[in-house]
Structure formats: C-alpha cells, structure tokens
C-alpha cells in the first residue's frame, strides 16, 4: 500500500493507565518500513506515554489541534496548533499532556530495531555488554510513577511555531524539523498554489519518506521504473488523487519516482524523511543523481541494466 486516508485507519487505545489517547498508526497503514507517523488524539488532560527518551531515534511532533503541555526533564512548555517539537536521542525525557479541550498531534520517527539475543530457556535478553530479565514483573507502563506538572516555562529552541520558520523555494517550503534542531531527520511544511509541483519527480535508494496532506487537494504522481527501452519517460505512469487526511508512504529502493501536484484549490502537506548519508537520489526528468553523503549532484550516463555497457 502507498496511500491511505486517516479516516480509514482504526484507532488503538492502550489498556495501560500511563499511555492515553487514541492512536492511529498511519505510517504502518500506508506501508512504511523503517519510519512511522502516528496520529495521537488525547482527551482532556490525558497523557500520551510515560516520560521516556530514545537511545537512537529522533522524534518529531507536529501539533494539529488543541493545546497542552510538553513535559521535558521536569519542566513543562505550552504547545498548540502549528508547533513542531523535536526530541533528540539520549537527551531529555519527554511526554505530552492535553489541555482542557484535548490535543491532536502527529508523531514522526524512525523505527530502529535494536539488536540483541533472547535466551528463551532462561528468560534473559542479552544486550551487549549486559543483560536483563525478559518479561519479568509488572509491565513497565504500570510501574511508571506519576509525573509532577509544574507551571509552564519559557519555551526551549526545540519547540518552534510554523509562523517563525522562514519559507524557502519561493515560499513553498518551511523546514520545521531543522528549525527545531533536528539532525537525523527532516520535516518540511510544503504549501503549493493551484497547479504547482512540489519537489521534482525523484526516488531514493536509502531514505524513506512519509507525507501527510493537511489541506487542499491534488495528485500524487508515480513514474515508471527505469527501463533501458524508455529511460526518460515523458510523464507519470500513474496518478493518485489526494486531499486533506491522506498519508503517503515512499519506502527506499522502489525505483519508482514520485512527486506532488496541487489541484485548483492548492495543496498543503507535511514531508518527513530520514537523512541517510548513503542515500542516492535520482531525478528522471534530467537524469541527475544526488549523492547525499558527498553533497554532489551529477548528470549520469544511462547504462544497460543487463550487461553494464553504455546504453
């Protein structure tokens, strides 16, 4: 699956008291592989998760509606519609609590699988260079102590509002993630006028992208895979209509370039992606290739895919 509408994704609610809200696993429903986006609908004063910090994943939140507090290492900060929050790995423990009218947020992040070895006969999980008992005792969410929520402090640089982020590319894109300090991933707000195209058609070898349409309508354009018999297609092989609430997943290595084009009312969407230094990005219109780790773009000579000789 590539495209799903969030109204078609059933919510899940944790039975654990420390994890509140209705959770919609949108990235998973759209077929994402190594990254995810969850929509979290918190009722009045509900808390999303126990306070936690990730060892490898960089989390990015975008507030759609409502108000609440971001708890970070014992301090709180007010958040509301249009705010982006970035939580770096191995830094401040964090969670969210909704205000009087609830809170509606999107949570983006990688889904890192930490390696380890499970020894089922003795119930031990080996995490080099140490180990832990597996599945022993009360569930961690049930053991979490109740947090104290002090009055809100002046906001930290890792929380930014969209109106304070400069627009680039003729006003079409705002780098929300970068403005809030993201280093490993990116979150951009793209606003297209009627008929405008977003990023040119392209596909990645290593980076994975997720898109969430916030307003307007348009088309997702999917191009054909490279073919020696037709190396430079004149246009997309398939178009998919999208509007507010649609989630689009573009895993790496598909060899299918994609782009967005706005309809008559314009199109606004969030574009999330990893920043893998090993990534190579191909632009079929110009046959240019971007090598992220090198910061170099080049126009490539087409090779025959079967014998490796110039085609």
- Rounded mean pLDDT, 76-102: 96
- Rounded mean pLDDT, 291-311: 69
- Rounded mean pLDDT, 7-26: 93
Give yes or no for residue 173 having a pLDDT over 90: yes
Give yes or no for residue 215 having a pLDDT over 60: yes
- Rounded mean pLDDT, 210-231: 86
The pTM for the full model equals: 0.90
Cα separations in angstroms, 84 against 28, 50, 184, 239, 267 = 22, 20, 15, 30, 20
d(CA 66, CA 101): 6
The pLDDT-based confidence of 200 (bands split at 50, 70, 90) is: very high
Looking at residue 126, what is its pLDDT?
Answer: 74
Distance, CA of 65 to chain centre: 18
Q: Where are the domains of the chain?
A: 160-299
Looking at residue 1, what is its pLDDT?
Answer: 64
The pLDDT-based confidence of 234 (bands split at 50, 70, 90) is: low
d(CA 279, CA 225): 18
Residues 83 and 161: beta-carbon distance below 8 Å? yes
The pLDDT-based confidence of 87 (bands split at 50, 70, 90) is: very high
- Average model confidence (pLDDT) across the chain: 90
**Residue closest to 40 by CA, chosen among 94, 92, 98:** 98
- Rounded mean pLDDT, 283-297: 90
d(CA 188, CA 166): 11
CATH no. for 160-299: 2.60.120.10
């Amino acid at each position: 699956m590539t495209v799903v509408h969030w109204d078609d994704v059933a919510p899940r609610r944790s039975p654990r008291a420390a994890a509140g809200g209705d959770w919609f696993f949108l990235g998973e429903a759209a077929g994402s592989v190594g990254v995810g986006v969850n929509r979290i609908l918190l009722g009045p004063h509900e808390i999303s998760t126990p306070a936690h910090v990730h060892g490898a994943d960089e989390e990015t939140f975008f507030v759609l509606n409502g108000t609440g507090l971001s708890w970070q290492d014992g301090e709180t900060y007010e958040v509301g519609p249009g705010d982006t929050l970035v939580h770096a790995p191995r830094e401040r423990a964090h969670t969210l609590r909704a205000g009087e009218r609830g809170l509606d947020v999107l949570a983006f992040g990688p889904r890192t699988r930490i390696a380890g070895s499970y020894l089922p006969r003795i119930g031990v999980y080996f995490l080099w260079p140490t180990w832990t008992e597996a599945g022993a005792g009360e569930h961690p969410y049930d053991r979490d102590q109740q947090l104290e929520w002090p009055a809100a402090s002046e906001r930290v640089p890792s929380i930014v509002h969209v109106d304070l982020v400069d627009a680039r590319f003729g006003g079409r894109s705002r780098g929300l993630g970068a403005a809030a300090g993201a280093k490993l991933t990116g979150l951009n707000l793209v606003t297209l006028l009627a008929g405008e195209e977003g990023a040119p058609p392209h596909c990645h070898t290593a980076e994975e992208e997720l898109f969430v349409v916030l307003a307007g309508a348009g088309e997702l354009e999917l191009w054909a895979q490279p073919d020696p018999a037709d190396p430079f297609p004149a246009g997309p092989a398939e178009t998919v209509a999208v509007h507010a609430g649609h989630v689009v997943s573009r895993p790496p290595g598909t060899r299918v370039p994609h782009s967005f084009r706005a309809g008559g009312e314009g199109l606004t969407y969030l574009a999330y992606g990893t920043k893998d230094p090993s990534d190579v990005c191909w632009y079929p219109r110009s046959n240019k290739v971007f090598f992220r780790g090198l910061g170099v773009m080049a126009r490539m000579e087409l090779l025959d895919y079967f014998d490796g000789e110039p085609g």
